[in-house]
Amino acid sequence: MIAGLLDGIFNGISIGAVLLIAALGLAIVFGLMGVINLAHGELMMLGAYTTFVVQNGFKMLGKPWSETYIIFALILAFLVTAAVGLVLERGVIRYLYGRPLETLLATWGVSLILQQFARSVSWVLVIGIAIFCFLFFGALWVLSRRPDFERIRNWVIAIMLPISLGVASATGAFLGQTYKLAVTKPWFGAQNVDVTAPNWLRGGLRLGTLQMPYTRLFIIGLTIVCVAGIYVFLQRSPWGLRIRSVMQNRSMSACLGIPTAKVDAITFALGSGLAGIAGCAISLLGSVGPNTGQNYIVDTFMVVVVGGVGKLVGSIVAAMGIGTINYLISSKVLVPMVAPIKPLVDLFEFFGTTSMAKVMVFALIIAFLQVRPGGIFPQKGRSVDA
């Protein structure tokens, strides 16, 4: 009985930890900025692919290094996705602040593009994109020094867009013709790629009949570190102070000299970077492929909504709660406990598969929101009605 209980608690927490680490970045971007980032899952996917690349790089270095790649992968995944997030924020999101539903559509577009990018990225594509960016944005940059730039801007775009596109695709086609497979072969392809945990992360810690997988422990640890890190960053650092002040009152902060645009960019990059770390973590448990991110997006949003938007502690409690309940229902461990009551047994048997458990969990979430519409820890004050 005790072992079963321990087992339940551990498994619930470990499922919750995966949910939480995936939801952390979202909680920041969505909770603090009000941006619905449907590309969050794809940022996780980028993190996972980064892990794959780092792993292969370290494999070449030989034994002592190949066992430690995960540490470097975590750092690099954070940096890569943070950079992508920064580009995303500067390029798209910043035009959409205050219109959360439109960020939703825009980021869905981004997620489609990123997915297809992971499938078909090859040297030809990368070179083509580089040439296009060089020509198009280069021309814009050069011409932006002219005093009459505003007037000719539309013309420049109208002329440079087809030219750059043409040159880029022509170069791509030429390269494809000359070097064939070497440049046209996709880097990753549509197939999943393999990320293998280092030896010290395989197997598990045995406690009686209970075995705790090391990867799970690692992820729980990583989640704790991330949560603590975010807490310290937001509460103790000067940038954290600025972020909080911008989120509370944007115009007042701007009046007081806080660079709000920079704060936005940093917040979004931080959220994206956390997605990268989450991607690295889940690559130890699940698949790494173009569809990796899709599997997490709804679950993570539910965590944020149930927890209460803008409250880290809410997300933590919600993730653990959803994880544990999901585990309890889908593993049917509750069935023996309610054995005397026949209808309950039937109910739990019916929902006792992994896919049906999701149905039940959602029903519970709706019911919960009936009682507490604002989540577990609702925000207080008038700003709630924004």
113-132 binders of other proteins (CB under 8 A): 113, 115-117, 119-120
How far apart are CB 342 and other proteins at their closest, in Å?
Answer: 21
* Cβ distance to other proteins smaller for residue 167 or 365: 365
* Cβ distance to other proteins smaller for residue 228 or 298: 298
How far apart are CB 110 and other proteins at their closest, in Å?
Answer: 7
Candidates 162, 257, 343, 373; binder of other proteins (CB under 8 A) is: 373
* Cβ distance to other proteins smaller for residue 79 or 165: 165
* Cβ distance to other proteins smaller for residue 62 or 238: 62
Q: Do residues 280 and 47 lie in contact, with contact meaning Cβ atoms separated by under 8 Å? A: yes
How far apart are CB 238 and other proteins at their closest, in Å?
Answer: 30
* Cβ distance to other proteins smaller for residue 95 or 174: 95
Which residue stretches of 259-353 are H helix? Answer: 260-282, 294-307, 312-330, 342-350
Binding mask 76-115 for other proteins (x = CB under 8 A): ----------------x--xx---xxx-xxx-xxxxxx-x
Cβ contacts of residue 352 below 8 Å, gap of 6+?
329, 330, 331, 332, 335
* Cβ distance to other proteins smaller for residue 260 or 295: 295
How far apart are CB 200 and other proteins at their closest, in Å?
Answer: 12
For 288, the 3-state DSSP assignment is strand
What type of residue sits at position 318? Answer: A
User: How many residues lie near other proteins (CB under 8 A)?
Assistant: 86
Say how far apart CA 17 and CA 322 lie, in whole Å: 10
Contact region with other proteins (CB under 8 A), list: 11-19, 138-146, 227-235, 236-244: 11-19
* Cβ distance to other proteins smaller for residue 57 or 286: 286
How far apart are CB 221 and other proteins at their closest, in Å?
Answer: 15
Say how far apart CA 26 and CA 111 lie, in whole Å: 14
**Subset of 323-362 contacting other proteins (CB under 8 A):** 326-327, 330-333, 353-359, 362
**Subset of 267-326 contacting other proteins (CB under 8 A):** 282, 284-292, 294-295, 297-298, 301-302, 305, 326
Burial class of residue 144 in the structure, from the number of CB atoms within 10 Å of its CB (0-12 exposed, 13-18 middle, 19+ buried): exposed
The three-point CA angle 91-92-96 to 5° equals 140
Q: Does 378 bind other proteins (CB under 8 A)?
A: no
- Tokens 């939801």: give the residue: 23
* Cβ distance to other proteins smaller for residue 171 or 192: 192
Q: Find, among 268, 274, 317, 289, the residue nearest to 93 by Cα.
A: 268
Looking at beta carbons, which pairs linking 108-114 to residues 24 or more positions away fall under 8 Å? 108/38, 108/39, 110/38, 110/39, 110/42, 111/38, 111/39, 111/41, 111/42, 111/293, 114/39, 114/42, 114/43, 114/45, 114/46
Greatest extent of the chain over all pairs of C-alpha atoms, in Å: 83
How far apart are CB 239 and other proteins at their closest, in Å?
Answer: 26
**Subset of 152-211 contacting other proteins (CB under 8 A):** 181, 185, 189-197, 202-204, 206, 211
What type of residue sits at position 136? Answer: F
How far apart are CB 102 and other proteins at their closest, in Å?
Answer: 5
341 in the Ramachandran plot: left (φ > 0), alpha (ψ -120 to 50) or beta? beta
